[in-house]
Chains A and B, each alone.
Chain A
Amino acid sequence: MTPEAAKQDKHTFVLNMGPQHPSTHGVMRVILEMDGEHILEPEPVLGYGHRIQEKMGEARPWPGFMPNTSRMDYLSAMIYNHGYVSLIERMTGIEVPRRAEFIRVITDELNRIQSHLLWLGAFLLDLGAFTPIMYTFDDREQILDILEDVTGSRLTYCYHRVGGVARDIDEKFVERTRAFIARLRSRFKPIYYDLVTSNIIFIKRVKDVVSFTPELARRYGLTGPPLRSTGISYDIRKNEPYSIYPEFDFEVPVGTKGDCLEVYNIRVAEMEQSLRIIEQALDRLPEGPFRNKIPRKVKLPQGDATFSVETARGELTYYLVSDGSDVPYRLKIRVPSFSNLSVLQELCRNMLLSDLVMSLGTLDLVIPEIDR
């Protein structure tokens, strides 16, 4: 029966998924118009975790927004920090020492791997496999330990500072990171590939299920791995290079068909690329100061500026308008998950409930980031 006919026939009913549901990954609600197990119309409802983050940025001098940046996408906290400090640096022209740039890139990439690992586990959990998340957490713990040692925190790092980073890294950090790189590389094949990637049930579940098309992606501003799975190679680290990314040799994995399997493969490949970047950065880590002294009260010059970074989920853009004081006049944050979620309605029409759960998992949403 076609969706329209089903609606006419009053075969349909409304299923409320969330705000508390195991696979909405947070307090999000999806209202589903259903015909049996088929979804006719999914409608995401947002705002359960809204915390006026942008307004908070406009209510205090700019350094005061630093802790907030860690609390939108708590899985890419480091990258969010990076974007914000870089925006301020771009506006004020504050210099960053080279060593600090290296440290930023290393911590960013560690953060990205951590986020992808968590996603991998949670995605498999959505598909009903309970074990992989424990293995990924085992690996993720290593990253958190490394980062905790340098930042003092496990999730909301608040580590990057305008003009550098908060604390220098030492030999121990370098050693532990190298050990971690070796460890994760040695686990891809025997654990993740054998247990997950090659598994027939997994492949059958994710292959050819949704189709992200370049046209759809453009219309909704899709970014991150779902966009790259359509074959569009768009990664801020390459397309609009920031920090010292151009100095590193890495690839942006892209797909062709835009199905969930490709998104999965891209994320796994991205982890490997991140390991490559970290390795190169560690090899070339320069000596020198890790933080420039900046004047106590830095006013933001009048005007506006944007800064984009590539988080684990896609493009993050900070846009700041200043009236010349040290309190931003307007701060706008473009978060990747929000745009990525907006495709859901079109993507998941006439899909099975199980596939909707899987597609939500593929988009790798962090709800507090959407709600801000």
Chain B
Amino acid sequence: MNEYFSDLFSGAKSLLVGLSVTIREMFKPVVTVQYPREKLEITPNFRGHTELVKDPETGTHKCISCMMCQKECPSDCIRVKGEKREGVKGLALVSYSLDFTKCSLCGTCVEVCPTAALEYSQEYELAGYSSDEFRFDLLKRLEER
């Protein structure tokens, strides 16, 4: 019988305490942001898909078409095409295609690149109507930048 009443009182008290928590929180400021209107700043370290680095000196990429990234990529989503050209040491890059639909964002390609020619993009709002939109040609993207 004793338990019956103690249960009742302690229970009722805990319920009131719970209510006080929610009412307190109710008057605290909102913590979310209205996404498309307000945006949070994302960290510069964010790992998006990869992008060729623009060399400030030459104004172009630093890739020497060594194929390291293509070989090391665990998801097999990089295709590097280079060709011999007059006056260029090594191979000149013709196209660098990244199949972002397969990329697992592991960062291996960025880490293995001997010339640090790759970086992560800050793009996080990727959406499209077909998977083709995510098969990037990074060289073209670089030129458009």
Cα A279 to Cα B107 in complex, Å, equals 29
Q: Are A63 and B72 in contact (CB under 8 A)?
A: yes
Residues on the A chain within 8 Å of B105, using CB: 67, 153, 156, 158
Does B120 lie at the interface of the complex (its beta carbon under 8 Å from any beta carbon of A)? yes
The answer to whether A195 and B45 touch (CB under 8 A), given A64-B74, A158-B105, A166-B107, is no
CA–CA, A118 and B120, complex, Å: 29
The answer, yes or no, to whether A1 is at the interface (CB within 8 Å) is no
Using an 8 Å CB-CB cutoff, how does the interface string of A59-70 with B read, 1 for contact, 0 for none? 010011111100
A200 interface contact, C-beta 8 A: yes
CB distance B14 to A67 under 8 Å? no
Q: Is the pair A149, B106 in contact by a Cβ cutoff of 8 Å?
A: no
What are 24 A-to-B residue pairs whose CB atoms are below 8 Å?
A60-B74, A63-B72, A66-B74, A66-B106, A66-B108, A67-B74, A67-B75, A68-B74, A135-B25, A145-B43, A150-B45, A152-B45, A153-B105, A156-B105, A158-B104, A158-B106, A166-B107, A167-B45, A190-B21, A194-B18, A198-B14, A198-B18, A200-B10, A200-B12
> Does B130 sit at the interface, judged by CB under 8 A?
no
Report the minimum CB–CB distance from B132 to chain A (whole Å): 23
Q: What is A's interface to B at a CB cutoff of 8 Å?
A: 60, 63-68, 71, 131, 135, 138, 145, 148-153, 156, 158, 166-167, 190-191, 194-195, 198-201
Q: Is B17 within 8 A of A198, CB to CB?
A: yes
Given that A64-B74, A153-B105, A194-B21 are contacting pairs, would A148 and B46 also be in contact in the complex, using a CB cutoff of 8 Å? yes
A153 vs B105: C-alpha distance in the bound complex, in angstroms?
9
Give the distance in Å from the alpha carbon of A191 to the alpha carbon of B47 in the complex: 34
Complex-state Cα separation, A167 to B111, whole angstroms: 11
Could you tell me if B108 and A199 are in contact, using CB atoms closer than 8 angstroms?
Answer: no
- Category for how many chain B residues contact A: 20 to 34
Contacts of A149 in B (CB 8 A): 43, 45
Q: Is the CB of A152 within 8 A of B25?
A: no
Output the least CB separation between A55 and chain B (Å).
14
- The answer to whether B17 touches A194 (Cβ under 8 A) is yes
B83 CB, min distance to chain A CBs, angstroms: 26
- Is A63 a contact of B108 with CB atoms below 8 Å? yes
- Please determine whether A199 and B45 come into contact, CB atoms closer than 8 angstroms: no
CB closest chain-A residue, reference B43: A149
| Beta-carbon nearest neighbor of B19 in chain A | A195
Q: Is B15's beta carbon under 8 Å from chain A?
A: yes
Q: Check B107–A148 contact: CB distance below 8 A.
A: no
Chain B proximity of A262: nearest CB distance (Å): 19
Report the nearest B residue to A196, measured CB to CB.
B18
- For B108, the chain A residues whose CB sits under 8 A away are 63-64, 66
4 cross-chain pairs, A with B, having the tightest CB-CB distances, nearest first:
A152-B47, A64-B74, A200-B11, A67-B104
Q: Tell whether, in the assembled complex, residue A152 and residue B17 are in contact, meaning their CB atoms are under 8 Å apart.
A: no
CB of B31 closer than 8 Å to a CB of A: yes
**In whole Å, how far is B37's beta carbon from the nearest beta carbon of chain A?**
19
Please state if A158 and B107 are interface contacts (CB–CB under 8 Å): yes
In Å, the complex CA distance between A135 and B31 comes to 10
Q: Report chain A residues within 8 Å CB of B106.
A: 66-67, 158
Is there a chain A Cβ closer than 8 Å to B22's Cβ? Answer: yes
The residues in B between 19 and 53 inclusive whose CB is less than 8 angstroms from any CB of A are 20-22, 25, 31, 42-43, 45-47
Measured CB to CB, the closest approach of chain B to A131, in angstroms, equals: 6
Which of A66, A138, A199 makes the CB contact (< 8 A) with B18? A199
A271 to B78, CA, bound (A): 41
Given contacts A156-B104, A158-B107, 6 further A-B contacts (CB under 8 A): A148-B42, A151-B45, A152-B47, A152-B107, A153-B105, A194-B18
Q: Report chain A residues within 8 Å CB of B75.
A: 67
Q: Tell me which residues across on chain B come within 8 A of A66, comparing CB atoms.
A: 74, 106, 108
Give the residues in chain A near B11, CB-CB below 8 Å: 200
On chain B, the residues within 8 Å of A152 by CB distance are 43, 45-47, 107, 120
Nearest CB of A to B69, in Å: 13
User: CA–CA, A166 to B11, complex, Å?
Assistant: 51
Q: In the bound complex, how far is the Cα of B46 from the Cα of A241, in angstroms?
A: 33
Q: How far is it, in angstroms, between the C-alpha of A20 and the C-alpha of B106 when the chains are bound?
A: 30
CA distance A161 to B12 in the complex (A): 53
